[in-house]
Homo-oligomer: A and B are copies of this chain.
Amino acid sequence: MNKIQVCFSPQLFPLFNDQKSIVVVVDVLRATSVICVCFANGAKSIIPVETLEEALEWKAKGYLAAGERNGVQQKGFDFGNSPFSYVGNNIKGKEIVLSTTNGTQAIHAAKKAHKVVIGAFLNISALAHWLDNQGKDVIILCAGWKNKFNLEDSLFAGALANILISAGNFKTDCDSTLAAVLLYENAAKDIYGFLEQSSHRKRLAHLKLEKDIRYCLNTDKTDVIPIFQLDRLVAYGGE
């Protein structure tokens, strides 16, 4: 049996990192959903960076650059953080540098781990299947909101943990995993409705991003598994 744990904040990740687990980074609204969409649409790689300045340095070297803070695309960038921007020939075969409020920070918190992959509802079944075949312990790292707990990432963690535990090869002795699974069980019938109260959904609704939210809560739009190698994410499966 392998072990599954959930970490609710990038700031707490050092308490979990054991250098042998696979770490699944999740920022459902919207960075890790966007990353899945990029690879589903044929991007070659995504370079997650912590600061907007660093992203602009890559852009000056010829990379496409995406920069978002607090839900809003930043000045001087080719893209923000909407899954609907990353389509067609803009993306195919391209290398994109990405800096967001929470998601890319979480990837950096995790990058010293044994192995880092990207999770979202958009790739949840393919990811669960892949994790089930690895024979390794799993830590789901929720990006949260500026290092605080958030509902949507915790729900995803609960959904993924639920699949893995039900399949029979994983168990947990971790209270945050038990709590995440219970939250997911309460929300499963209507995740969009459940998140109505959540702080980040309110934040994005205010920015008229309801369409993005609905899209990011879809399951299984792609089989791709973005995996971190050296300094960038590449696609493990799918196209």
Chain A residues packing against B (C-beta within 8 Å): 8-9, 11-12, 15-16, 145-151, 154, 173-176, 178-179, 182-183, 186, 197-200, 202
Q: Are A150 and B173 touching (Cβ within 8 A)? A: no
Cα(A46)–Cα(B28), bound, Å: 45
Shortest C-beta distance, A119 to chain B (Å), equals 19
B-side contacts of A183, CB under 8 Å: 179, 182-183
Q: Which one of B9, B16, B175, B199 lies within 8 Å of A174 (CB-CB)?
A: B199
* Known contacts A8-B8, A173-B199; A146/B178 CB under 8 A: no
Query: Are A8 and B146 also in contact (CB < 8 A) when A182-B183, A186-B182, A186-B186 are?
Result: no
Tell me the bound Cα distance from A218 to B109 in angstroms.
40
Given the known interface contacts A173-B199, A186-B186, A202-B173, the answer about A148 and B12 at a Cβ–Cβ threshold of 8 Å is yes
Complex CA gap A198/B149 in Å reads 20
How far is the CB of A201 from the nearest CB of chain B, in Å? Answer: 10
Q: Chain B residue with minimal CB distance to A5?
A: B148
Give chain B residues whose Cβ lies under 8 Å from the Cβ of A15. Answer: 11, 146-148
Which residues of B have CB within 8 Å of A8?
Answer: 8, 149
Q: Whole-angstrom distance between the alpha carbons of A199 and B6 in the complex?
A: 14
Which chain B residues lie closer than 8 Å to A202 at the CB level? Answer: 173
Cβ-defined partner of A175 (8 Å) among B11, B147, B186, B198:
B198
